Structure 1
Amino acid sequence: MGDEEGPAPGSYALDVRDGRFGEVMGRVGGRVQLRPLRGGREWDVPPECLGEADPARVLRERVRLLNRDARRRVGLG
């Protein structure tokens, strides 16, 4: 996936080892760091274990999180 430098920070990638996807935060020690879209702790992924994140899946998750946050702001959640 991506070029020799790997995916760009801010893009999304799939960890093919377990099917999780997240936002690319950067590289440390030759590994790519991903963070769940909902926030939380980053995890390291070897570059050879990265895959393309399905854009539809990323969009669904982002909309779900935006809706959750909006409901919390108006006191519905």
Structure 2
Amino acid sequence: MAIRLPLNSLAVDTAHGDKIGYVMGHVGGDTQLRPPGGGVEWDADPNLVRPATATEALRARVTELNRAERLV
């Protein structure tokens, strides 16, 4: 049984090559994820989504900061 990850937490979609994203919602049996720094959300199978490790979360936050810096 899939765990329901909290909104705004960082998660890893193992079905899409360990793609990381923020949990934006849970609709129709799917978990919606958004890439760090913005972008198009995607639907993920909640059975194939896991919480991000501390290292993965740090990497995602660095990615966000780098993207934000390029926009300035």
Q: How far is 1:63 from its partner?
A: 2.4
Please say if residues 33 and 41 of structure 2, whose CA atoms lie closer than 8 Å, have aligned partners that are also in contact: yes
Q: Which runs of 5+ in 1 are unaligned?
A: none
Paired residues in the alignment total 71
| Structure of higher CA gyration radius | 1
More helix by share: 2
State the TM-score, normalized to the length of structure 2: 0.79
Gaps of 5+ in 2: none
1:64 and 1:45 map into 2 onto residues whose CA distance is 21
| Cα displacement (A) at 1:71 | 5.5
Which amino acid is 1:26 matched to? Answer: G
TM-score by length of 1: 0.75
Are residues 1:31 and 2:30 paired?
Answer: yes
Structure 1 runs, 4 residues or longer, greater than 4 Å off: none
RMSD of aligned residue pairs (Cα, Å)? 2.1
